[in-house]
Amino acid sequence: MNRRTWLTMLFLLGAGIVGCVHAEPKAYDLVKYQGKAGSVTIAFDFADGYPEASTMKITEGKKTTAFNLEGLDNIQFVPAKGGGSIKRVSLDLSGDDRAPAKVTGSYVAGEKTVAFTLTKRK
């Protein structure tokens, strides 16, 4: 191969790689909420526009447990792995709702249901 062909191939290859790297815009906004209920800290990330991407983490003492989304009618979460004492979290929010200023909900720990309010984090 001559030098000109080689340089042309390198240019085209580089342009192809750079063209594939561009980022796609997100189809949703991530709204972060946090609150406390007793000794439990709750962090909820609401994917406004695509609620299936929403996440929740709960910290009891020094142990943080990730929760998986289970239902969208009234958004519900269950522990990803075993979890601590909290077995289910229900939010007074539907997957069709837009992100409110505050989110209320409750969690079940043993036989006890505890209500909480989450506010937007900055």
- In which residue are the tokens 């526009």 written? 49
Q: How confident is the model at residue 27, as a pLDDT?
A: 74
Q: How confident is the model at residue 4, as a pLDDT?
A: 77
Q: How confident is the model at residue 35, as a pLDDT?
A: 96
Ordered mean pLDDT values, 10 residues apiece, the chain (122 residues):
74 61 69 92 92 92 91 88 83 87 92 93 81
Q: Which residues of 25-55 are buried (b: 16+ CB within 10 A; e: fewer)?
A: eeeeeebebebebeebebbbebbeeebeebb
pTM for the model:
0.75
